[in-house]
Amino acid sequence: NWQIAGGAVQSVPATTTAYVHTGLQNNLNYTYWVTAVSATGLASSPSITVVATPQAPPPPPPAVLAAGESFRDTLKDGNLGPEMVVIPAGTFRMGDIQGGGWNDELPVHQVSVARFAMGRYEVTVGEFRLFVDATGYQTEAEKGKGCVVYRDGLWQYVKEANWRNASFTQTDNHPVTCVSWHDATAYLDWLSEQTGKPYRLPTEAEWEYAARAGTETKYWWGNEIGTNLANCYSSGSEWSGKQTAPVGSFQANPFGLYDTVGNLWEWCADPWHSNYQGAPTDGRIWDRSDTSLRLLRGGSFDNVPENCRAANRVRVSSDSHSRGRGFRGCADVTL
């Protein structure tokens, strides 16, 4: 920053010029030749090499899905998992709000539920088949004495009845049935391994919250079953009392979920408790040491409308299976 002029040493103000070079590719080195000229223009500094290594930009934050939005995770073989719908956080009254139900639906209590994702539909035959084909899994009905179906005027185990043959016609778009609680959790564990996300069964509180979808009536549309609004006994549908309907055959509830009334009973994560005394109020699983009995919710095509109420709950053995039982999955979502 000094120069000699007329025998005198003079100070030359230092100057710095910044340059921005855009459009560079990350993780490559770039060489620049820089020549500095003195203020008098008489002297030139040696050329120097400047090496620039652009840094990779930080990864974007994970996408935050809004309530009501849906997603499908990709499996390792490129197939897609079940369609999931984001359920908003909220608080609701759980239990027999309308009155006239069963003692196991009491006391009515307030529960706060965090955001989560739930299957838009009950898991289908086609979706379950992907799991079986990939793993060779055999359901408890296939390994045991078959599935409980209605035959010759009786409910009975039929050896050849299972998820592939539930005693009525099914396509890949029908909900899978004749699956036990263990079969359902095995499928969801596989789905977790395939996607890297923790899939699971809904807790009982999550199930009722999602089925009610902000309502306090027996069914999400009102207190009467109506005509052709769901697939249960005497509901006026073409499948009523006969067999499952293809998923999505009826109107979705306000949260965008199908068949939360009828079609198939749906497994929940919780073990059975005989009433709601001491039940958690934050939507988590209500666990206990005895897990031999598990919960079913929602009713089925074989059941009268009262059994398909949002508050109705049923206990069965976790290794049992019948033509009226299926499930849908849940997953936690980024807040």
Question: Helices H, strands E: what count in the chain?
Answer: 4, 17
Position 63 in a domain: no
**pLDDT grade, residue 5 (50/70/90)?**
very low
Alpha-carbon torsion angle 248, 254, 256, 258, nearest 10: -30
pLDDT digits (tens, 9 = 90+) for 102-153: 999 999 999 999 999 999 999 999 999 999 999 999 999 999 999 999 888 8
pLDDT score at 11 = 53
Average pLDDT over residues 276-295: 96
Task: Please state, for a pLDDT cut of 70, what percent of the chain lies above it.
Answer: 81
Q: Are residues 11 and 115 both part of a single domain?
A: no
Q: Are residues 30 and 179 both part of a single domain?
A: no
Q: Are residues 282 and 308 both part of a single domain?
A: yes
Q: Are residues 255 and 138 both part of a single domain?
A: yes
Domain count, the chain: 2
End-to-end alpha-carbon separation of the chain, Å?
57
Tokens of 232: 């249960």
Query: Cis peptide leading into 107, omega within 30 of 0?
Result: yes
pLDDT digits (tens, 9 = 90+) for 248-273: 999 999 999 999 999 999 999 999 99
Position 64 in a domain: no
pLDDT score at 150 = 87
State the Rg of the chain over Cα: 31
Q: Are residues 166 and 38 both part of a single domain?
A: no
Position 57 in a domain: no
- Distance between CA 237 and CA 245 in Å, rounded? 9
CB atoms within 10 A of CB 98: 15
Position 103 in a domain: yes
Q: Are residues 29 and 101 both part of a single domain?
A: no
Position 156 in a domain: yes
Q: Are residues 105 and 7 both part of a single domain?
A: no
Residues 259 and 177: beta-carbon distance below 8 Å: no
Name residue 241's amino acid: G
What's the CATH code of the domain at 181? 3.90.1580.10
- Distance between CA 121 and CA 178 in Å, rounded? 17
Q: Are residues 169 and 256 both part of a single domain?
A: yes
- Distance between CA 168 and CA 125 in Å, rounded? 13
Looking at the predicted structure, is the pLDDT value of residue 64 above 90?
A: no
Q: Are residues 39 and 80 both part of a single domain?
A: no
Q: Are residues 88 and 30 both part of a single domain?
A: no
Looking at the predicted structure, is the pLDDT value of residue 90 above 80?
A: yes
Q: What are phi and psi of 294, to 5 degrees?
A: -125, 170
Domain span at 172: 70-331
- Distance between CA 24 and CA 55 in Å, rounded? 10
Residues 328 and 263: beta-carbon distance below 8 Å: no
Tokens of 290: 């005895």
Helix (H, G, I), strand (E, B) or coil at 126: helix
Tokens of 184: 């359902």
Q: What are phi and psi of 185, to 5 degrees?
A: -70, -30
CB atoms within 10 A of CB 251: 11
Position 230 in a domain: yes
Position 61 in a domain: no
Position 32 in a domain: yes
Mean pLDDT of the chain: 89
pLDDT score at 21 = 65
Handedness of CA 203, 117, 92, 310 (dihedral sign): negative
Q: Are residues 31 and 80 both part of a single domain?
A: no
Model confidence, pTM: 0.82
pLDDT score at 120 = 99
CA distances from 330 to 81, 184, 300 (A): 12, 12, 20
pLDDT score at 26 = 62
Looking at the predicted structure, is the pLDDT value of residue 180 above 50?
A: yes
Residues 300 and 321: beta-carbon distance below 8 Å: no
285-317 burial by CB neighbour count: b if 16+ within 10 A, else e?
bbeeeeeebbbbbbbbbbbebebbbbbbbbebe
pLDDT score at 4 = 46
Residues 253 and 211: beta-carbon distance below 8 Å: yes
Handedness of CA 296, 298, 304, 309 (dihedral sign): positive
Length of the chain measured in residues: 335
Q: Are residues 171 and 132 both part of a single domain?
A: yes
pLDDT digits (tens, 9 = 90+) for 8-63: 545 555 555 666 666 666 666 666 665 656 555 555 555 555 555 666 667 666 56
